[in-house]
A and B are shown apart, each in its own frame.
Chain A
Amino acid sequence: MTELAATDPLPKPKRDLAPILLPIALALAMIPLIGSPSTWLTLTAASLAMGMMIFIMASGLTLVFGLMDVLNFGHGAFIAVGAYVATLVLAPFAASIQADSLWINLAVLAPAALLSMAVSGALGLVVERVLILPVYGQHLKQILMTTGGLIVAEQTLYALWGPQIIPMPLPTSLRGSFILGDVAIAKYRVLATLIGLAVFIAIQLVLNRTKLGLLIRAGVENREMVEALGYRIRRLFLGVFMTGSALAGLGGVMWALYREQVHASMSDELTVLIFVVVIIGGLGSIGGCFIGAILVAMVANYGGFLVPKLALVSNILLMVAILMWRPRGLYAVTSR
């Protein structure tokens, strides 16, 4: 071993690049299979956008597990609540949504998204206090409690809004696509990709560059130690849970706009999707969750184009393949 001088920076752990290269390799491998480069580019752009939206929804789940060791099976409920709240705001402003100006459109969309985040974040506060607080440290009961919470939330949405599908049209200026040569890229997908990237970078910066992030990461490693140093880890937990819920709400709005409809059962289908992503990424890992989301979206898009029948179970096949390779997910963060 070489001696380190006091001024030398601490040796950093080697970066594990294989998972990052995986989606890139997958995308490149698809070029000859798909044949037409323009189709490939369209599919790749679609995968990126879809992956970013899934990432936003799943990041909260993996964050909550990583820090608090809480398995939240009710995460899907926050997604659905976020989407429904956005319809409440957008309905009276239908005219502004139809307006052919990006700024007017965004002036309605942005407050709607923010309100959704606020409501689902506040719901997160209630859920943490009522459902999670009594069952910290008990996985079995956490699963049972949050599953119960998911049922109640979904049924309340049915009772309030009825069982019908609510349309949620895209604003006029976000419809259609940019044409680059012979490639068409939908405008909304560009916006979704940008928002997703922004969320990813923001989470990474907060976790790695701020004192708050330092405390959160320390809390993941050793909760008692952080408490002994005088920090209220319970407050920190609550904050992380609310952030996760708010992100789910944002993801719900984006997904609803992507599908242009809202339905109470969307929480069910998305729950499975985000679980697959979180498992692939490695429970508790933000980076793994990001790569997992993109992989899932890629498999869905490429698979849907090449072998439509297979696309239905492609998620599961992907998950099986990844877990064969790395049994704890792409990046194993926690030792739990």
Chain B
Amino acid sequence: MMILSGDPPRSRVLTVLLVVIILALALTPFLFPGAKALNVAAKICVFAALVASYDLLLGYTGSVSFAHTMFYGIGSYAIAIALYGMGPNWAAVATGIVVGLPLAALLALAIGLFSLRVAAIFFAMITLAVASAFQVLASQLSWLTGGEDGRSFQLPELLRPGTVLISKSLFGFEINGRILTFYLVFAISALMILALLRVVNSPFGRVLQAIRENRFRAEALGFRTVFHLTYANCLAALVAAGAGILNALWLRYAGPDTSLSFSIMLDILLMVVIGGMGTIYGAIIGATIFILAQNYLQALMGVASKAASEAGLPLLPGLLHPDRWLLWLGLLFIASVYFFPTGVVGRLRSGGGDKGAPH
């Protein structure tokens, strides 16, 4: 219980689900051989941490930010630019981390001090505007960021796929640098999620919830709400930048589409809503469901679209085209806000029935 910060899943089904997901992720290199499965697993790890950090904002403080991908992008670009510019060595990795994380935190501090003070309702709009300006900046400063093409880079020797740590003859499975990178991603994501769990179950986390429920009252009780909100904003930005670093390390690339685009922001929003706002566990569930669906349903949509066009149906092939994945996502999004406001975790915790949402 210590490691879960005294906040166990509180539902048998949820516990089983979490254990299965975490075991499957941890054993992916052995259970599901192949590059695609490993990619999906790494993406789930990265997004679980990213979504959990977003949940700290959306679920625990109730403020909608559209700038979360900006912090994610700062982490990605920091490590990519450092490794691209300084060559594939550990000093570059360290530089990326040392520059990227404080930069994200500082920017979050600036946005927080500026827009949380103004009016809660402006926050969503202002973050959207700032994020879009940042996106333009990243695509324009091509000497630094590589523009629309992004930056590809080499990893340090130890993390490369060619580096064999334990050969196949010895163990039955080959442990190479790629798998080591995967475990790095897995472990750091897990650590960040546990740290967030610690944060939300601390007195500080309770204050955040109090602010979410009634900001005026929290203020009247003597809490400096702007300080708490800004602090939460910075923490969320730090974890998001950390997730960005992991993502860039895994992809060996950082670019606008993989780290900054608005569609990633929507993915994050959807994962939080599906998993359940205000529960860090929801991030793990949401990210897993969403990324599995994204990777395996799109193929299914392609098949269905082809079948529909061969059957000569109007419009349906276009609507089922794999590129229209986002359309169904949007519908799912609306439906889940409408029908499952507490998400999977909220549902499971309340015993599956409609016993009133916690908020």
A residues at B contact (CB < 8 Å): 71, 73, 131, 134-135, 139-141, 143-145, 147-152, 154-156, 158-160, 163, 268-269, 271-272, 275-276, 278-279, 283, 309, 312-313, 315-316, 319-320, 323, 327-328, 336
Pull 27 A–B residue pairs with CB atoms less than 8 Å apart, ordered by A.
A131-B334, A135-B337, A139-B121, A140-B58, A143-B124, A145-B337, A147-B266, A148-B330, A149-B334, A151-B329, A152-B330, A155-B326, A155-B327, A155-B330, A159-B315, A159-B327, A271-B128, A275-B128, A279-B129, A283-B121, A312-B137, A312-B140, A316-B133, A319-B126, A320-B114, A327-B117, A328-B118
Q: In the complex, which residue of chain B has the Cβ closest to the Cβ of A274?
A: B125
Question: In the bound complex, what is the Cα–Cα distance between A315 and B126 (angstroms)?
Answer: 11
Give the chain B neighbours of A152 by CB distance below 8 A: 327, 330-331, 334
Contact assessment for A145 and B121 in the assembled complex, using a CB-CB cutoff below 8 Å: no
Contact assessment for B269 and A147 in the assembled complex, using a CB-CB cutoff below 8 Å: yes
The answer to whether A279 and B125 touch (CB under 8 A), given A151-B329, A155-B327, is yes
CB distance from A316 to the nearest CB of B (A): 4
Closest 5 CB pairs of A and B: A151-B330, A155-B327, A148-B333, A148-B334, A152-B330
Contact assessment for A279 and B128 in the assembled complex, using a CB-CB cutoff below 8 Å: no
B residues at A contact (CB < 8 Å): 58, 62, 64, 114, 117-119, 121-122, 124-126, 128-130, 132-133, 136-137, 140, 262, 266, 269, 273, 315, 318-319, 321, 323-324, 326-327, 329-331, 333-334, 337-338, 341
Give the chain A neighbours of B323 by CB distance below 8 A: 158, 163
Q: In the complex, which residue of chain A has the Cβ closest to the Cβ of B328?
A: A155
Contact assessment for A275 and B62 in the assembled complex, using a CB-CB cutoff below 8 Å: no
Contact assessment for B337 and A148 in the assembled complex, using a CB-CB cutoff below 8 Å: yes
Contact assessment for A316 and B129 in the assembled complex, using a CB-CB cutoff below 8 Å: yes
The answer to whether A319 and B121 touch (CB under 8 A), given A149-B330, A159-B327, is no
**Interchain CB contact (< 8 A) of B319 among A140, A159, A163, A278:** A159
Give the chain A neighbours of B341 by CB distance below 8 A: 141
CB distance from A70 to the nearest CB of B (A): 11
The answer to whether A315 and B321 touch (CB under 8 A), given A151-B327, A320-B114, is no
Contact assessment for A140 and B334 in the assembled complex, using a CB-CB cutoff below 8 Å: no
Contact assessment for A144 and B140 in the assembled complex, using a CB-CB cutoff below 8 Å: no
Q: In the complex, which residue of chain B has the Cβ closest to the Cβ of A134?
A: B338
Extra pairs beyond A159-B315, A272-B129, A316-B130 (10, CB < 8 Å): A144-B269, A150-B330, A154-B326, A159-B321, A271-B128, A272-B128, A275-B125, A279-B126, A315-B133, A327-B119
Contact assessment for A71 and B333 in the assembled complex, using a CB-CB cutoff below 8 Å: no
Contact assessment for B129 and A156 in the assembled complex, using a CB-CB cutoff below 8 Å: no
**Total A-B residue pairs with C-beta atoms closer than 8 Å?**
104
Give the chain A neighbours of B124 by CB distance below 8 A: 71, 73, 143
Counting chain B CB atoms within 10 Å of each CB, which of A149, A156, A272, A323 scores highest?
A: A272
Contact assessment for B137 and A275 in the assembled complex, using a CB-CB cutoff below 8 Å: no
CB distance from A237 to the nearest CB of B (A): 18
Question: In the bound complex, what is the Cα–Cα distance between A276 and B132 (angstroms)?
Answer: 11
**Interchain CB contact (< 8 A) of A275 among B117, B119, B129:** B129
Question: In the bound complex, what is the Cα–Cα distance between A159 and B137 (angstroms)?
Answer: 30
Give the chain B neighbours of A147 by CB distance below 8 A: 266, 269, 333
Give the chain B neighbours of A319 by CB distance below 8 A: 126, 129
Contact assessment for B114 and A158 in the assembled complex, using a CB-CB cutoff below 8 Å: no
Contact assessment for B333 and A144 in the assembled complex, using a CB-CB cutoff below 8 Å: yes
Give the chain A neighbours of B334 by CB distance below 8 A: 131, 145, 148-149, 152
Give the chain A neighbours of B262 by CB distance below 8 A: 268
Contact assessment for B319 and A276 in the assembled complex, using a CB-CB cutoff below 8 Å: no
Question: In the bound complex, what is the Cα–Cα distance between A160 and B119 (angstroms)?
Answer: 39
Contact assessment for A328 and B119 in the assembled complex, using a CB-CB cutoff below 8 Å: yes
CB distance from A78 to the nearest CB of B (A): 16
Contact assessment for A158 and B324 in the assembled complex, using a CB-CB cutoff below 8 Å: yes
Question: In the bound complex, what is the Cα–Cα distance between A264 and B132 (angstroms)?
Answer: 17
Give the chain B neighbours of A323 by CB distance below 8 A: 114, 118, 122
Give the chain B neighbours of A140 by CB distance below 8 A: 58, 62, 64
CB distance from A8 to the nearest CB of B (A): 37
CB distance from A132 to the nearest CB of B (A): 11
CB distance from A148 to the nearest CB of B (A): 4
Question: In the bound complex, what is the Cα–Cα distance between A241 and B257 (angstroms)?
Answer: 34
Q: In the complex, which residue of chain A has the Cβ closest to the Cβ of B272?
A: A144
Question: In the bound complex, what is the Cα–Cα distance between A304 and B15 (angstroms)?
Answer: 57
Question: In the bound complex, what is the Cα–Cα distance between A47 and B126 (angstroms)?
Answer: 23
Q: In the complex, which residue of chain A has the Cβ closest to the Cβ of B338?
A: A134
Question: In the bound complex, what is the Cα–Cα distance between A336 and B318 (angstroms)?
Answer: 43
CB distance from B135 to the nearest CB of A (A): 10
Question: In the bound complex, what is the Cα–Cα distance between A323 and B118 (angstroms)?
Answer: 8
Question: In the bound complex, what is the Cα–Cα distance between A312 and B137 (angstroms)?
Answer: 8
Contact assessment for A151 and B318 in the assembled complex, using a CB-CB cutoff below 8 Å: no
Question: In the bound complex, what is the Cα–Cα distance between A319 and B319 (angstroms)?
Answer: 39
Give the chain A neighbours of B118 by CB distance below 8 A: 323, 327-328
Contact assessment for B121 and A313 in the assembled complex, using a CB-CB cutoff below 8 Å: no
Question: In the bound complex, what is the Cα–Cα distance between A276 and B62 (angstroms)?
Answer: 22
Q: In the complex, which residue of chain A has the Cβ closest to the Cβ of B317?
A: A159
CB distance from A319 to the nearest CB of B (A): 6
Give the chain A neighbours of B117 by CB distance below 8 A: 327
Give the chain A neighbours of B273 by CB distance below 8 A: 144
**Interchain CB contact (< 8 A) of B326 among A131, A134, A151, A336:** A151
Question: In the bound complex, what is the Cα–Cα distance between A278 and B327 (angstroms)?
Answer: 28
Q: In the complex, which residue of chain A has the Cβ closest to the Cβ of B329?
A: A151
Q: In the complex, which residue of chain A has the Cβ closest to the Cβ of B62?
A: A140
Give the chain A neighbours of B140 by CB distance below 8 A: 309, 312
Contact assessment for A336 and B133 in the assembled complex, using a CB-CB cutoff below 8 Å: no
